[in-house]
Chains A and B, each alone.
Chain A
Amino acid sequence: MSNRFITINTITKTYENNAALDNINLTLEKGAIVSLLGPSGCGKTTLLRIIAGLETSDTGEILIEGSSVIDLPPEAREFGLMFQDLVLFPHLNVSENISFGLEMQGLSRKQAKPRVDELLSLVNLPQLAKRKVQDLSGGERQRIALARALAPAPKLLMLDEPMGALDSQLRQTLYIQIRDILKSSGITAIYVTHDRNEAFAVSDYSVIMNHGRIIQTGTPYEIYSKPKTTFVAQFMGFQNLVKVGLAQGSPSTFTTPFGLITIPPEHNYLSPGVLEGTLIIPESSISFTPSNATSDSAFEGVVSRKFFQDGGYRIQMSIEDTILHFVADLDFIYLPEIGDPTKIAIDWSTALVVPHD
């Protein structure tokens, strides 16, 4: 119990018969960075706003170090929030924006200055102190917004899709920097995003949400190696998802479009009594194979698409009305062209079967 810094209990929120949040439970240790991951509309922003006090939940409790804050107004909760569109104060310059939270704590601008300078160094922008916010670039505004949120040393910092307005190259650079900044401040943080790579780079572990519910919690590796549902698998980027049924009298043999396939029993994640699921074929288990290969792991199909990406050829192959995606091994003797009938081999030892949603 002593490591529960922030506890969120049974938060429910309904908008006009629409359950925006359904029984959300979450605990955070001090100093942890947790990501809320999910598609648009899954309720992550709503949850954030409820924790911040900008909206009220229908039920539930929010506790910091055991004491409840649910009845406190936003200004009394000592939380920080970095908004999706940053919301910098346009009539104040950079240092005035950063010192705002400190002034609200009773410090004068002069007293706040050391902390403001400290934060400007932390985000690597000490030269921008007097700049007007309208004159900042996207990346600069984002870092200033972060500095402003960190300045009053909030107990919990929430970041709502802070990379939204930035181009992807800038994003990659920045979210690694954000993790470093957060860790060096020792701050507890909730990071909301729809981008799994961003979530995995920034946070310690992730909470995956869909339709107002928490679906799965875990480290990136845990979620990737054992996705709980088809939704999570899709969200993790698995593209080879095939509906299959459990074959009678076997713990892990399934009827699939590729015939009867057996996977390692520990990879069958269906509950007992459940007879249908989704077969996940990791891309790394698929490769081209010589056309004279015969085995029950070799399948014939037609290449439908081929394009170069990140150092390799991505292949889409059509087999038995199913499309499989994988990356071609460049060491293979020849690469087929689009329309060529080809054989591929699938290593079933890494395949998984997970429940439908």
Chain B
Amino acid sequence: MVLYSWKFWAIFLLLVFLILTLGYPIVSILSLSFRNGFDIFWNTVLTDSYYLDVLMFTTWQATASTLLTLLIGLPSAYVFAHYSFPGKRTLRGLTTVPFVMPPLVIALGFVALLGDKGLINSLLQTTFRLNTPPLMLINTIYAILIAHVMYEFTIVVRIVSTAWANLDPDIENAARILGANRWNAFRKITLPLLLPSIIAASSLIFAFTFTSFGVVLILGGAQYATLEVSIYTLAAHLFQLPAAGVLALIQMAITIVFMTVYARYQQRTSTSFNLVPNQAVTMTPQGKIDKLLCLANYLIVLIVLSPLIALIVRALLSNGDITVSGFTHIFSNQGDSFFFVSPLQAITNSLLFGACTVILAVPMGIISGFLLGNSTHWGKAFLDSALMLPLGISAVTMGFGFLIAFNNGIWNLSGSWTIIVMAHAVIAYPFVLRSILPVLRSMPPSLREAAQVLGASKRRIFIRIDLPILWRSIVVGLVFAFAVSLGEFGATLLLHRPEHTTMPVAIFRYLSQPGESNLLQALSMSCVLMFVSAAGFITIERLRFRNLGGF
């Protein structure tokens, strides 16, 4: 009976989850916005040149960020695809760390490296005997763009290098024998075949940078407002909820478009022609050019990670002396009256929330994966992007939606531990989905058919065939989800009670108080966050099936 089949209950569970965590909050925002009719739509927003300017700015900075990330990321993707060099897996794992860091940590790192008193400026000042710091990047558009490149670099590297590594190397050879020199072979053969992955990466980066919030607010300053910042300002400061809702709707619509494009082109890369095993494509560097390229790649990744490295350096230095006082303080159990919880408790909270997020997000991601399965038409791509909506909606909007959705009657979850887990889970589960989907799609249906013919029921097939093949990608998704939960800031800030303080919130609190010791503790907590994430990502590099998954 259909009513009692596993498939039915699984989809039912997924629907409940999505409605509660995604549908209901979004609908709440929308009904709040439009409760006075659609006039607001026209009058406040679409005709107000201020908001049109905001939209223009948001679009252009997202475009610039995307192009810049491609510029720096494509050469790196080439090296990762074609060479096996020492530390390759570690390096690739490390590039993912910025992606899950809260914008505060990125900002701290940025300031530590490129701020007025940062490493670079200090170095330049002492070397060239300057009186004022030569690089004034904070509160400029460059800070925003650079921070975006840091965040999204790993997307280009992962998506494009995977596709590149899966191209038949003989295809360029065939072109060359037909008379094409290296450049023509690249331009006419390799590039068109790489285009789907480049488009997929670009769409994803555009969607993320379009909805950028923390980076713009902290590193850009008051003069730069993206759509997201406007939504936040309207909702949290000006209490113009309807206008905020309208902007949120516009942003959602634009994001869905780009996510759909991403999903469609992602499918195309995973069913790419001429799939060959990676071993055939990657080689150890042989000649001078090979070695130079690998070296350049190390340099590129180092530069991308440099703000975070600067952060670590700054965490250990105080007034010129090496110190670990920040670390010792956060691992002590002293209660802090400002927090109500000790730093250690904040760390524990983060880990617990992470665990709960994983328990919820992983099954939901798996079910979504099986639901989407194997089809390549636009309908499913749309469903794909709808399921990925949380990635496109910024955490602030999500948190906002949760706030107004669950604040009265039987749904009064405000300030509870549950609501935070729900918020984290809906933000994290798309990563589980993205990890298992490529592996799921590359499983030939004949595997399950063979099992069926040998007498296995659907449940048995799932346990004995699907899970053993998928478990690695599930672990990858799990670690991703955990890391995302650890670094989640925006929604948590809006939804938490003091006893639920997490690491990112603690960092924020430390920074809102003056003084060197508070700064050191913020930096130290940031380091802990980074190390845990890095450890997770480096570990899962060993588990990735043919380097698929993650994006």
Contact = CB atoms under 8 A, between A and B. Distances in A.
Nearest to A104: B179
Contacts of A104: 175, 178-180, 184
Given A90-B193, A90-B273, A75 B180 contact: yes
Interface in A72-104: 73-75, 77, 79-81, 83, 85, 87, 89-91, 100-101, 104
Nearest to A145: B174
Nearest to A84: B170
Contacts of B273: 90, 134
Nearest to B176: A74
A238 to B, nearest CB: 36
A75 B192 contact: no
B179 A152 contact: yes
Interface string B216-254: 000000000000000000000000000000000000000
B352 interface: no
A83 B170 contact: yes
A134 B274 CA distance: 11
Nearest to B276: A85
Contacts of A81: 173-174, 177
Contacts of A149: 178
B178 A87 contact: no
Contacts of A44: none
Contacts of B171: 87, 89
A136 interface: no
A18 interface: no
Contacts of A105: 179
A101 B178 contact: yes
B190 to A, nearest CB: 10
Nearest to A148: B178
Interface in A99-126: 100-101, 104-105
A52 interface: yes
Interface residues of B, number: 19
A54 interface: yes
Contacts of A73: 176, 181
Contacts of B189: 89, 91
Interface string B145-177: 000000000000000000000001011011111
Contacts of A101: 178-179
A74 B274 contact: no
A200 B184 CA distance: 38
A90 B173 CA distance: 14
Contacts of B274: 87, 90
Contacts of B188: 100
A339 to B, nearest CB: 38
A172 to B, nearest CB: 26
Given A83-B170, A104-B184, A74 B192 contact: no
B193 A79 contact: no
A87 B177 CA distance: 12
Contacts of A53: 176-177
A104 B176 CA distance: 9
B288 to A, nearest CB: 16
A106 to B, nearest CB: 9
Nearest to A158: B177
Contacts of B179: 75, 101, 104-105, 152
A91 B177 contact: no
Contact of B177 (A75, A85, A89): A75
B174 A83 contact: yes
B178 A85 contact: no
B173 A54 contact: yes
A90 B273 CA distance: 7
B174 A87 contact: yes
Contacts of A77: 177
Nearest to A98: B178
A74 B193 contact: no
Contacts of B175: 89, 100, 104
A75 B175 CA distance: 8
A85 B174 contact: no
A87 B168 contact: yes
A53 B175 CA distance: 13
A285 B177 CA distance: 49
A1 B171 CA distance: 37
Given A87-B274, A90-B274, A134-B273, A75 B176 contact: yes
Name which of B168, B177, B189, B274 has the most chain A CB atoms within 10 A of its CB.
B177
Can you list the 6 inter-chain pairs with the closest CB atoms, starting with the nearest?
A104-B179, A101-B178, A90-B273, A74-B176, A87-B174, A91-B192
